[in-house]
């Protein structure tokens, strides 16, 4: 089977779907129109459809005509609260919401893969499950977990799972992947520094939480410098500081919000413990107290199964026109990680950086723009992986 030719045939439909989705982005857990769009198209291809899975999720099931294994392919569907500034003629029609992470392209490419696979059911072994997931951008309670809780990885049990992300960090025509830890666990924390307010002219009668919070911010960076093994990737960022109302009032409290990123569970649990110890210790030394809270249910580390990933790379390298590269891990988070905890599989990046087309802005930028020529590669890659891994003896 020549998947790239099939994808080229489906390309006008993929691009049309993508642009329609791009004009009507919906934020996490509000993907009603998007999931309707997905369900209707899957049904028109003769794919079995289940709606309302884990919120607004949609699952399509396609049985091949031959016996084989069960392969799940996943696309996330949510847009972001960003006002679009990209110079495209199909700009978002929804004020303040944009597909700034390219999840519109993920949906369109997975629908493209469904088109290719459903048109070649006679050649197909096993079963393909198309997982259209809500709310990847939601943080802790992303859409993968409720879909798993709704049973998408069971009945029939998924043997392999694959997903991709469109990425401006890589050039158009490149696929980036690596075995093992690939994306970080993103743990969000809040530190409430509780002092005692008073008059700005008499700080000695107060416990100034702003002053103490400043020390906490500095000390937290010491976790990275002095408490985490330097050969383990780790970053800590305090991204929000809230306190005070007026220059001559010392407030009662200050709140810090931040994130830590790690690529292994050992570093992760040590870092979380240290954030709490350092914040509490610094506060105590100035007479204040700290309340430290980590978001529950943060995404796990995204770990690509080494063996599956090696085989997947071999499969993808058969496609003409693209280059499959091993890339460094990144410290962004992904709740595709949750599917990878249930079945071996691979998450990979599809490059879309192309200066000649103005596709130079990073994911999440209000000017983020996708090189639509790469969508056919994405659709073909997903279809290829489902086809090859559905084979009872594995990839040919
Ligand atoms: Zn994103
Ligand atoms: Zn994303």
Residue that terminates a domain, selected from 272, 294, 316: 294
Whether residue 377 is found in the same domain as residue 287: no
For the question of residue 372 being annotated catalytic, the response is: yes
Among residues 109, 238, 262, 67, which one has the least CA distance to residue 184? 262
Q: Which residues pair with 160 in a beta bridge?
A: 71
Structural domains of the chain, count: 2
pLDDT digits (tens, 9 = 90+) for 78-94: 999 999 999 999 999 99
Whether residue 90 is found in the same domain as residue 136: yes
Q: Which two tokens stand for residue 120?
A: 């070649």
- CB 244, CB 251: distance < 8 Å: yes
Whether residue 320 is found in the same domain as residue 213: no
For the question of residue 299 being annotated catalytic, the response is: yes
Q: What is the CATH number of the domain that holds 159?
A: 3.40.630.10
Q: What is the pLDDT of residue 349?
A: 98
Whether residue 276 is found in the same domain as residue 310: no
Q: What is the pLDDT of residue 396?
A: 84
Q: What is the pLDDT of residue 158?
A: 98
Whether residue 195 is found in the same domain as residue 277: yes
Q: What is the pLDDT of residue 141?
A: 86
Query: Which residue positions in the chain have pLDDT lower than 70?
Result: none
Q: For residue 365, tell me if it sits in a domain.
A: yes
* Residue span of the structural domain in which 77 resides: 3-182+301-390
Burial of 215 (0-12, 13-18, 19+ CB in 10 A): middle
Which is catalytic among the residues 6, 84, 299, 348? 299
Residue that terminates a domain, selected from 294, 310, 340: 294
Q: For residue 395, tell me if it sits in a domain.
A: no
Whether residue 168 is found in the same domain as residue 37: yes
Residue that terminates a domain, selected from 274, 294, 314: 294
Q: DSSP alpha helices (H): ranges in the chain? A: 3-23, 32-44, 103-118, 144-149, 209-226, 265-285, 306-316, 336-340, 375-390
Whether residue 353 is found in the same domain as residue 239: no
- CB 124, CB 314: distance < 8 Å: no
pTM, rounded to two decimals: 0.93
Task: Label the pairing between strands 174-177 and 345-353.
Answer: antiparallel
Q: For residue 10, tell me if it sits in a domain.
A: yes
Q: CA 85 to CA 95: how far, in whole Å? A: 11
Whether residue 155 is found in the same domain as residue 200: no
Starting from the CA of residue 102, give the closest ligand: 2
Q: What is the CATH number of the domain that holds 287?
A: 3.30.70.360
Ligand 2 centre from 184 Cα, in Å?
A: 13
Q: CA 338 to CA 183: how far, in whole Å? A: 12
Q: For residue 307, tell me if it sits in a domain.
A: yes
Residues around ligand 2, an ion, CB closer than 5 A = 101
């Amino acid at each position: 089977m020549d998947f790239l030719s099939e994808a080229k045939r489906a390309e006008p439909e993929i691009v049309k779907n993508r642009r329609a989705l791009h004009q009507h982005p919906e934020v996490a857990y509000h993907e009603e129109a998007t999931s309707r769009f997905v369900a209707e198209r899957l049904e028109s291809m003769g794919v079995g459809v289940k709606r309302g899975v884990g919120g607004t999720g949609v699952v399509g099931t396609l049985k091949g005509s031959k016996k084989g294994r069960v392969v799940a392919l996943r696309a996330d569907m949510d847009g972001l609260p960003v006002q679009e500034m990209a110079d495209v003629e199909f700009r978002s029609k929804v004020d303040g919401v944009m597909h700034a992470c390219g999840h519109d392209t993920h949906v369109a490419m997975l629908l493209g893969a469904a088109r290719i696979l459903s048109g070649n059911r006679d050649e197909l072994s096993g079963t393909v499950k198309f997982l259209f997931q809500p709310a990847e951008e939601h943080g802790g309670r992303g859409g993968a977990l409720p879909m798993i809780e709704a049973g998408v990885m069971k009945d029939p049990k998924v043997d392999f799972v694959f997903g991709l992300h469109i990425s401006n960090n890589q050039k158009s025509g490149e696929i980036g992947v690596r075995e093992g830890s690939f994306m970080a666990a993103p743990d969000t924390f809040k530190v409430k520094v509780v002092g005692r307010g008073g008059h700005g002219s008499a700080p000695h009668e107060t416990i100034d939480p702003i002053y103490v919070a400043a020390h906490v911010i500095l000390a937290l960076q010491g976790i990275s410098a002095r408490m985490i093994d330097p050969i383990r990737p780790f970053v800590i960022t305090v991204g929000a500081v809230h306190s005070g109302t007026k220059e001559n009032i010392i407030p009662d409290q200050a709140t810090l919000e931040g994130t830590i990123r790690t690529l292994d569970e050992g570093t992760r649990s040590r870092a979380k413990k240290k954030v709490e110890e350092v914040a509490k210790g610094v506060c105590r030394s100035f007479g204040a107290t700290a309340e430290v809270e980590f978001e529950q249910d943060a995404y796990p580390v995204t770990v690509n199964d080494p063996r599956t990933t090696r085989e997947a790379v071999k499969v993808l390298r058969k496609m003409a026109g693209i280059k499959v590269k091993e890339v460094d891990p990144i410290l962004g988070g992904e709740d595709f990680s949750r599917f990878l905890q249930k079945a071996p599989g691979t998450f990979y990046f599809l490059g879309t950086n192309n200066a000649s087309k103005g596709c130079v802005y990073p994911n999440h930028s209000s000017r983020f723009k996708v090189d639509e020529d790469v969508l056919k590669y994405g659709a073909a890659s997903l279809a290829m992986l489902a086809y090859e891994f559905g084979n009872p003896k594995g990839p040919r």
